[in-house]
A = this chain, B = another copy of it.
Amino acid sequence: MSRIGTRLATMGLDLPPPLSPPRDMVLPFPWVNIRGDRAFVSGHSAQTMDGKLAGPFGQLGGAVTVDQGYEAARLTGLAILGNLARELGDLDRITGWGRVFGMVNSAPGFTDQPAVINGFSDLVLEVFGPEIGRHARSAVGMAALPAGFCVEIEAEVLIRV
């Protein structure tokens, strides 16, 4: 078993299947786009283990709490790992995380975006460790997100070809 696969098993983590988007959401792009030694990761949101969009929906600073946002960011990370695993075959091919762009659906005046996106960063660091998992990051407040996601994250990772 691969190193990262073993690590996920040790942590008791399962990765969700590909998203079955709502019927009216047409998404003409891959979740992970590999070009050479780069994997561009499309904007993901939290998923349930049966491939649906996971709630809660709405805004931080509104109906969604920081704890719920943190958990949504963590679930977003698991959805990204699921798509990376399917696209790469083996998560051990990831040689380093590059950039993480964390988007938080934010009501006016909400300023705690970093605490929300930490749900994602903490997961990546737990799974990949400090060297491969190290990533540049922004965590910022969006006016709105598709379907009312509370969190959306895009990223780039470097891979072994």
Contacts and interface: CB of A to CB of B under 8 A. Distances in A.
Interface of A: 25-33, 35-36, 38, 40-43, 61, 96-101, 103-104, 106-115, 118, 121-122, 125, 134-148, 152, 154, 156, 158
Contacts of A134: 29-30, 33
A108 B141 CA distance: 13
A147 B139 CA distance: 11
B28 A144 contact: no
Contact of A145 (B27, B32, B113, B156): B113
24 contacts: A26-B114, A27-B137, A28-B125, A29-B121, A29-B135, A31-B136, A33-B99, A33-B134, A33-B135, A35-B96, A35-B98, A40-B136, A41-B136, A43-B138, A61-B144, A101-B138, A103-B140, A106-B144, A107-B144, A113-B146, A136-B154, A141-B144, A141-B145, A142-B143
